[in-house]
Amino acid sequence: MSSSQSLLLKLPPENLQTILSFVTLSELMNLGQTSVLNLQMIQLAHHLCYFPEEDSFSSSNSNSRPDLRSSMITISNNRRSSASDLRRSLPNIHNLDAFSSHNFGRNMIHHRSDLSMTKIAHMLNKFHYLRTLVLYKMDHVGDRFLGVLNAAPCKRYLTHIEFHDLNIGNIHTNQQNHTTAQLVLPTDRLQYVELDGVLFCDYQSVIQPFLLSKVLKILKLIGCRLLKDVHVRDLMEKQLPPYNSNSQLHTLCLEECSRLSAPFIVSETIHTLSLAKCQLIQNLHYIKCKSLIHADLSRCSMLSNESIHGFVKFHEKTLETLNLNNCGSISRIDFVQEHVLRKEKLESLESRQGDQEEARMNWICTVPAKLTELDLSLCTGLEFVRIVAPSLKFLNLGMCLKMKHLHLQLPEVESLDLSILNIESLSIEAPNLVFLNLSGCSKLKSIDKFTCPNIETLDICGTDLSGKDFNLGKKFRGLKCGGDISDLEKITSNLENFPA
């Protein structure tokens, strides 16, 4: 007997390490009728991957599945396992990834969903110690799934839940079809929750029960169209005293939540925050995460200059990566020290005889000391960039089409993407720069200043530039050039007319 097999024999039932792969739902439900199981066993893992039955699957796509008959299951020794052996092990399965296909006629939907719901309920009742539940493509199941999960014995052991494209919490026109059952989950187990593509989840009956866990670490709500600012405030209050005095939430993703405009997110523990594709967000004033390291605000097309600068100002001591890709309303990025802005503002006011006090109220001076990555690509309204960030290593300004002049002093930057810009003048001082992309800058005819002694790779495809326009050092290795400038100009013109 191998060491792994002897280890399995010593483990208690709730820790029995078993993996069953390529199991059809039909095979799983018919365990009682089989004497020898046509399954494959891989030891030392807690994972069951199940694919649903499909009437035509075995005949038309027989070559796409492994030959299950060639490998018999072994649970704790070398003998062939019977159905009773597997039935005893089913409660000990810890992880379940479930996929469902609903490629069937419209007239069969109701019957098929009833059948699937019965089988899912039967399956979940078998797994007493299930820790991880991941469900994909089950949008024909409907709200009744909540009741099944409520009754499942594994509910009290679940630590990881992912529901993808599940039609739960849907708002039905027929109120008789809408669930009134309240999902109840333990508050001391669940650590990871992801609801992805569940478009019309009702917050009160579907989402909120997952947030009551006091050990929740990762929360991802993606594409929840009914999620509002008031719900996010309630969400965060569940992670604050007096309800939770020791919150462990460190990752929060609220992506494609189209009703959010000014979310309230206050936390001492969150270090990763994503509000990507929340296109109505305008105000970031209520976001204050003292441990924030990674922030994704990409495709938040209504964010203003003041909102971005205020956000960075509050998190300037901790923020390391910031994604502002495709934020079309941003026109200016000015991360500099206060005295620089003060001098410029006063000079400007003196020349215009403006109100100095009014201008001071609009100053937002920030230097993100730990910022290493900044993505400003496709910010089609961006006209001015000035960044003093002593730790910045990666900067992407690709396809910011309104910029005409660019002067950068970046002491630590290693990678710089300036592709497909309409800039006419360029100055770069970056002693540690290794990679520079200027491809598609068809209007750039020369370089005003280029101080980059460590440059190794330079891309000038689609420009009139040549290697002679750059002061290339001894470490330089490769030059990419060539391309039809007229084609690139057409692409640039199309991008300028493309809505943000």
pLDDT at site 43: 29
Per the domain annotation, does 108 fall within a domain? no
Average pLDDT on 78-105 reads: 49
Q: Is the pLDDT of residue 457 over 60?
A: yes
Domain that holds residue 400: 393-500
How many CA atoms within 13 Å lie on the side-chain side of 115? 14
Q: Are 144 and 175 in contact (CB under 8 A)?
A: no
pLDDT tens for each residue of 355-412: 444 444 455 678 899 999 999 999 999 999 999 889 999 999 999 999 999 999 999 9
110 located within any domain: no
User: Is residue 458's pLDDT more than 80?
Assistant: yes
Q: What is the pLDDT of residue 210?
A: 87
Tell me how far apart the alpha carbons of residues 87 and 340 are, in angstroms, rounded to a whole number.
72
Q: Does residue 481 form part of some domain?
A: yes
> Could you tell me where the DSSP H helices lie in 315-380?
338-352, 356-361
Residue 322 lies inside a defined structural domain of this protein: no
Span 215-242, pLDDT tens digits: 999 999 999 888 999 999 999 999 988 8
Query: Is the previous residue joined to 499 through a cis bond, with omega within 30 degrees of 0?
Result: no
Q: What is the pLDDT of residue 312?
A: 95
9 in a structural domain? no
Taking the C-alpha atoms of residue 288 and residue 291, their distance in angstroms, rounded to an integer, is: 9
Q: Which two tokens stand for residue 242?
A: 């007096």
Q: Is residue 8 part of a domain?
A: no
Give the start-end residues of each E strand in 207-302: 218-222, 251-255, 265-267, 272-274, 287-289, 294-296
* Percent of the chain at pLDDT exceeding 90: 42
- What average pLDDT does the segment 125-137 reach? 78
Task: Answer whether residue 114 is part of any domain.
Answer: no
Residue 475: predicted pLDDT: 80
The amino acid present at 137, given as its one-letter code, is K
Distance CA 324, CA 363 (A): 21
Q: How many degrees, rounded to 5, is the angle at CA 283 between CA 311 and CA 333?
A: 45
Alpha-carbon distance of 453 to 451, in angstroms, equals 6
- One-letter amino acid at 259 equals R
Provide the domain count of the chain: 1
Does any domain span residue 232? no
Phi, psi angles (nearest 5°) of residue 323: -110, 110
Q: Residue 482 above 50 pLDDT? A: yes
| pLDDT score for 213 | 92
